[in-house]
Amino acid sequence: MMDKNLFRMEKIKPVLIGLAGLAVLQAFLIIGQAYFLSKGITNLWQGQRVSAQGKEIFFFFLCFFLRQVAQFFREQQLDKFAYQQSQILRKQLVDKIFSLGPNFVQKEGTGNMVTMAIEGVSQVENYLTLILPKITNMMIIPWLVAAFLFTQDILSGVIVLLVFPVIIIFMVILGYAARAKADRQYEGFQKLSNHFIDALRGLETLKLLGLSKKYEKNVYNVSEEYRKATMSTLKIAILSTFALDFFTTLSVAVVALFLGLKLIEGQLALLPALIVLVLTPDFFLPLRDFSSDYHATLNGGNTMKEIYRILDQEPFKATQNLTLNEKWDETETLSFEKLNVKYAKEDERMTLSDITFAWQGFGKIGIVGLSGSGKSTLVKVLGGFLEPDGSEQIKVNGQVIPHLQQEKWQKQLFYIPQDPYIFHDTIRNNICFYVPDASPESVEQAISQAGLVELIEELPQGLATMIGEGGQTLSGGQMQRVALARAFLDQERKILLFDEPTAHLDIETEAELKATMLPLLENHLVFFATHRLHWMKEMDYILVMQNGKIVEQGTYEQVSKQQGYYAKFVAETKAGGELNANQ
Amino acid sequence: MPTNKRLLLTKKDHWVRPYFAKYKKLLGLVLFLGVLTFFCGSSLMFTSGYLISKSATHPINILLVYIPIVLTRAFGIGRPASRYVERLASHNWVLKMTSDIRLKLYRSVESRAMNAKAEFRSGDILGILAEDIEHIQNLYLRTIFPTIISWLLYIIIVVLFGLFSIPFALMMLLLMGILVFLLPGLSILVNQGKNYRRKEKRHVLYTNLTDSVLGVGDWQYSGRYQEFITTYNTAEAEVRKIDQEMNRYKRKQDLAIQFVFGLIVVALLIWTGHYFYGSKTGLNWIAAFTLAFFPLMDAFAPIAEGVAEVPLYEDSVQRLHRLPKPEKESAAKPIQLKGTGIQFDDVSFQFTEKSKSILHHFNLEIQAGETLAVLGKSGTGKTTLSKLLRGDLEPNSGRITLGAVPISELRTEIFTQIGVLNQSPHLFNTSILNNVRLGNLNASDEEVAEAIKQVGLDQLVASLPQGLNTVVEEGGKRFSGGEQQRIALARILLQNVPVVIIDEPTIGLDPITEKELLQTVFHVLQEKTVLWITHHLLGIEHADRVIFLENGQIEMAGSPQTLRAENQRFQQLYSLDSAE
């Protein structure tokens, strides 16, 4: 019943104690309310005038209202507590995401992380306000009420106490049955409910195939199938609520019946009988509350588990801080010695293995290979998003470090992925992200270097146009150029990582950009992973990758003359396709 | 974006309202059962109260209380039973409506009117629309049904009391009116603005966090983490402020509702005490009337809160409302094509009057069976060209013909003539077999297998334990980019069209995969007329002719061999794009 994760919250114990105190108070008020109401009714029944019932009515109303006031107070405090906790949780989560970095985010699904930090934490907040009083009420109120019932009529007390476990058993049995059925159908469900989005997303393709009209029927039929499947699960799923309802109302009916019989035989007076009748539904109320909002509770609990799973992710290995100059210069060295990397901890195979490579000072290093050969992974290790398997394979200036998530290292590097992220902000602020206080002239220059002048002229508000989510949409190539402009603007950072920065560009635009880019890459340490082989001519050193290994390395001349994998690779892209001018 | 005028449930609302009428009977059943549930619950306490009061008078014969005994049992079983059926019926109703709305949404997005609206193309919007439908489900289950049921109960209760005493009925009219009208109304007034503001602020929080999570690397490197935390905290504090106000209001509202409940019980006690005073048998009814009200509290308590949520659904309905209404399309007459040559005749096109001209008095002829490569910088209108050819866009002036028949006359039959292989062909989350067969629903398994073989996937398929029945998974992610393109190509082969448009299908592929894919593509499409849009020169030797688009015109044209030999610009690009 009690979610273990709840105890990981700070200050949970005093809160539970406070709630328990309030539950005791509420139980007494419930009893008081029932007593005074029954007393009033009995007095009237005995022929007294209404005007003589002032005291009973007043105390009934007082108890009734105070009970609500107690609830008011409880929710006020819980609201505050739940908010504080959710704030802490959200902060921890965001911190964790930041410390684990982009590779983790990508693996978990980006949308997923955002939803978890906002909706998920809100769900937990809601869960806390729901579950805590449910638990304390359930543990206290029914038993105090039952104890009082025994003082009024033992038989009724026995009846409700017997029904209580019966309800629990039925709910558990039916709950399990429903869950088993739901589990079996869940996969199918998922498929059916995703089908609609799938159909909408594929609409363009369907149109191209001339099937979009015919598919209408399919959309409707699948939705109807979904309805039927849902209904058949629901029939069982809500049986547990039915059982709860059935036994509680039935036990009220049974209690009323026995009370009636006892009254006829004169074994009981009207007052205790009425009190019992009024109190019986209140005995079951905490149980009904407990099972209501079932989904909110279930989701809240699961989300909380999920959030803690992420908070429990192992951080990067603790390490001595890397000592490094402000700016990478000619004298500094970086080396990998038999580096092994797993993309995810649970993977069996190494994504990168036996990576050995050393470099001193500035230089342009190209990385080539087929898709899946490990180029991006290597760039991620260089960027410090990914931790190698061992801990003594990386050396910077001779200092051994387990990974490159080092402040001094990351502060001077720049990473441009294939799909750079565009912030929801003006295009100007996007370009100036790394240098917020850049002068207008330098921004202008970066824009022209990145070939964005024409685009910005066409935008409705020029540099002040909002881009990113919900703003002006940019094409893949335009986004890549915005990212390049960011890099051009920041000439202070000496280490540049590129992961297919030109994949979305047409050859002419790429050629123009290449001309402006090359001079800017001088006096930098550049790692450049790409499928566009013409860049290799410009590189000082080339790493050729295959199946997670560096199979060849050397200067352009060396690798192309080697008649090895690179030469074969280049030949492959041409095989049978050499365009001869004199054909 | 959102207009201030309310749309939800008004006469203009053609997304939520019409379904009330459509499944009238089921809706009636749902409401009847909803009322019945509370009626049984209330009656159980009523008869029980009467039963024990009557019993306390020590009747000589037990048969005198026989009817209340039976009724108690009946109501005791009736309440859970009707509640169970009501929940099933209401879900059934809502899901039926969902199927209809989905169909309607699909039709709307599918309609031709949609073509012009690029905004709806992005997957995000489609996801949001699909979610909107789920929101509408909640609107029914959580707000509309309970509210109507509480109104019905309200009427029944007031009428019933009217049979006993008009003044007391009026009193209940007033007291319960607070619960079903005054407090919900007030709640809407107070919370509407807050709800919107909350939504807005939450949106800010969302973009903030999305930016931080997706751009996590940039924040990390730029050393601007602290700055982010500060802006984020301000955004969060603002949301909390509104939340706090709303929660506070809700607590006060709950207290007010309970206060009214207390008053009603007291009023019932006082009235029954007066009304039945002095009547020996009448006194037994006091407990009955007073206790009967308690179960009804559940019906009235959640109304005010539920109603306050209605404005939240407004967005969803507005969004759906903005979708175009599907047009009726006349079936195209069968048209006899004269060959499969394509002709662009003095074609001009621009998206809007103000935007720049994409094509300017553009002329182009593509011979039947020719492979034409279209090159040009991004934004020069390569893709527009293909859309014009398919009739998805209409030229501002000029004429485009296929086999001497204007494209506009082909209308919905265009798919029998032109197939498209684009950058992101959609693979449906079903088997390879089903995906390929979408090209021609009448194709036999053998024909599908043959197409798979032609595109060079036969070995891969054979290596899969489930062969052609392997599910491609969402968006085809079971397979690599190159493999996905091959599946899509197989689909086009089955489609058996004379003309194929190829629109940059190789973006993101490594050069070897790209090379091999292009080889397959041009091998299997040898006989067909092909318009190939490409952004670089790899595989350009497959084209019979190459054109460069620039400023709405053809900048240069010729066979790749001639261009390679004679055209300086082409030579430059060619050497740029080659590895050596």
| Residue pLDDT, tens place only, A520-542 | 899 999 999 998 888 998 999 99
- CATH number for the A362-388+400-412+494-573 domain, one of 3.40.50.300, 3.60.15.10, 3.40.50.11540, 3.30.2030.30? 3.40.50.300
* B4 located within any domain: no
Alpha-carbon distance of B453 to B444, in angstroms, equals 14
Let me know if residue B13 belongs to a domain. no
Domain housing B89:
18-321
Residue with tokens 């086999």: B403
Sign of CA dihedral A73, B305, B179, B89: negative
Q: For residue B480, which residues of chain A lie inside 8 Å, CB to CB? A: 371-372
- Eight-class DSSP state of A530: -
Q: How many CB pairs under 8 A join A and B?
A: 435
Would you call B240 an interface residue with chain A, using a CB distance cutoff of 8 Å?
Answer: yes
In chain B, which residue's Cα lies nearest the Cα of A534?
A: B579
- Domain holding B292: CATH number? 1.20.1560.10
- Taking residues A448-474, what's their average pLDDT? 84
Residue B52 has its nearest CB partner, among A212, A254, A259, at: A259
Q: Percentage of residues in chain A with pLDDT exceeding 70?
A: 94
Nearest CA in chain B to A561: B580
Indicate whether A582 pLDDT > 50.
no
φ and ψ of B406, to 5 deg: -60, 140
State CA B370 to chain mean position distance.
42
Is B51 in contact with A256 (Cβ distance < 8 A)? yes
* Most confident stretch, A61-65, A447-451, A578-582: A61-65
Kindly list the residues from chain B whose CB atom is less than 8 angstroms away from the CB atom of residue A436.
224
pLDDT on residue B19: 80
Q: B517 and B570 share a domain?
A: yes
pLDDT per residue, tens digit, chain B (580 aa), is 334 466 666 777 777 778 878 888 999 999 999 999 999 999 999 999 999 999 998 887 777 788 888 999 999 999 999 999 999 999 999 989 888 888 888 888 777 544 544 444 444 566 677 777 877 888 888 888 999 999 999 999 999 999 999 999 999 999 999 999 999 999 988 888 888 888 888 877 877 777 777 777 788 778 787 787 788 888 888 888 998 999 999 999 999 999 999 999 999 999 999 999 988 888 999 999 999 999 999 999 989 888 888 877 877 788 788 777 776 666 656 677 778 889 999 999 887 777 778 888 999 999 999 999 998 887 788 888 888 888 888 888 999 998 888 888 877 778 888 999 988 788 888 889 989 998 888 889 999 999 999 999 999 899 888 888 888 877 777 788 888 999 999 999 998 899 999 988 888 788 888 888 999 999 999 999 999 998 888 888 899 999 998 888 888 889 989 988 888 888 888 877 775 5
Overall number of domains in chain B: 2
Query: DSSP H helical segments within B276-430, as ranges?
Result: 284-292, 297-300, 303-308, 310-321, 382-390, 407-410
Disruptive mutation site among A205, A239, A251, A556 for chain B (greatest number of B CBs within 10 Å): A205
- Tell whether B363 is within 8 A of chain A (Cβ): no
Same domain, B49 and B151: yes
DSSP annotation of A575: T
Cβ <8 Å between B44 and A253? yes
Nearest-CB residue to A257 (from B69, B123, B426): B69
* A553-561 contact pairs (CB < 8 A, 24+): A553/A357, A560/B580
Q: Which residues in B lie closer than 8 A to residue A102 (C-beta atoms)?
A: 216-217, 220
Q: CA nearest B208 in A: which residue?
A: A424
CA of B225, closest CA in chain A: separation in Å?
9
Min Cα distance B542 → chain A (Å) is: 8
Decide: helix, strand or coil at residue B6. coil
Residue type, B276: F
- Domain shared by B347 and B294, yes or no: no
Contacts of A202 in chain B (CB under 8 A): 426-428
| Helix, strand, coil % over all residues of chain A, rounded to 5 | 65, 10, 25
In whole angstroms, give the CA distance from residue B296 to residue B397.
70
Amino acid in the structure at residue A378: L
A419 pLDDT band (50/70/90 cuts)? confident
Reported ipTM exceeds the 0.85 cut = no
Q: Are residues B406 and B525 in the same domain?
A: yes
How far apart CA B103 and CA A211 sit, in angstroms, is: 15
Question: How far are the Cα atoms of A289, B91, B314, B339, B534 from residue B499, in angstroms, in the given order?
Answer: 65, 49, 46, 11, 17
Q: Which residues from B are below 8 Å from A90, CB to CB? A: 236
**Rounded to a whole number, what is the distance in Å from the CA of A159 to chain B's nearest CA?**
15
d(CA A250, CA B248): 37
Q: Verify that B362 and B299 share a domain, yes or no.
A: no
Please tell me the distance from the alpha carbon of residue B136 to that of residue B144, in angstroms, as a whole number. Answer: 10
For residue A243, CA distances in Å to A168, A257, B40, B295, B331 come to 9, 20, 16, 18, 56
pLDDT in tens, A179-231: 777 666 656 655 666 777 778 778 778 888 888 888 888 888 888 888 888 88
Question: Which of A57, A382, A224 has the alpha carbon at shortest distance from B290?
Answer: A57
Per-residue confidence (pLDDT) for residue A357, from 0 to 100: 92
pLDDT digits (tens, 9 = 90+) for B512-561: 888 889 999 999 999 999 999 988 888 888 999 999 988 888 888 899 89
Are residues B393 and B531 part of one domain?
A: yes
Count of all residues that appear for chain B in the document: 580
Supply A50's token pair: 């209404």
Instruction: Give the separation between CA A384 and CA A386, rounded to whole angstroms.
Output: 5
Residues of A in contact with B356 (CB under 8 A): 458
In this prediction the pTM is 0.82
Instruction: Note whether A210 contacts B107, CB cutoff 8 Å.
Output: no
Q: In chain B, which among 132-191 make CB contacts under 8 A with chain A?
A: none
The beta-carbon neighbor of A264 closest among B55, B96, B212 is: B55
Contact of B109 with chain A, judged by CB distance below 8 Å, is answered with: yes
B576 to A511: CB separation less than 8 angstroms, yes or no: yes
Q: Quick one: average pLDDT of A412-425?
A: 86
The span from the CA of B481 to the CA of B234, in Å, is 43
- Residue in B575, B567, B562, B498 with CA at minimum distance from that of residue B536: B575
Across the interface, of B223, B295, B573, the residue whose CB is closest to A507 is B573
B311 and B395, same domain (yes or no):
no
Q: Please, which pLDDT band fits residue A272 given cuts at 50, 70 and 90? A: very high
Verify that B221 and B182 share a domain, yes or no.
yes
Select the residue of B100, B269, B438 nearest A209 (Cβ to Cβ): B438
Question: What distance in Å separates the CA atoms of residue B195 and residue B2, rounded to the nearest whole number?
Answer: 14
Residues of chain B with Cβ-Cβ distance to A575 below 8 Å are 515
Whether the predicted pLDDT of A24 surpasses 90: yes
pLDDT in tens, A300-357: 888 888 889 889 888 888 777 888 888 888 899 999 999 998 877 777 778 888 999 9
Is the CB of B251 less than 8 angstroms away from the CB of A207? no
pLDDT of residue A117: 81
* Among A113, A534, A579, beta carbon nearest to B579: A534
From chain B, the residues in CB contact with A477 under 8 A are: 378
Nearest CA in chain B to A111: B210
More confident residue, A373 or A21: A21
Looking at beta carbons, which residues of chain B come within 8 Å of A509? Answer: 377-378
Q: In what order do the strands lie in the sheet with B553-558?
A: B418-421, B499-503, B529-533, B371-375, B545-550, B553-558
CATH architecture of A421-493: 3-Layer(aba) Sandwich (3.40)
Cβ(A487)–Cβ(A416) under 8 Å? yes
CB distance A31 to A280 below 8 Å: no
Do B61 and B172 belong to one domain? Answer: yes
CA distance B109 to chain A (A): 8
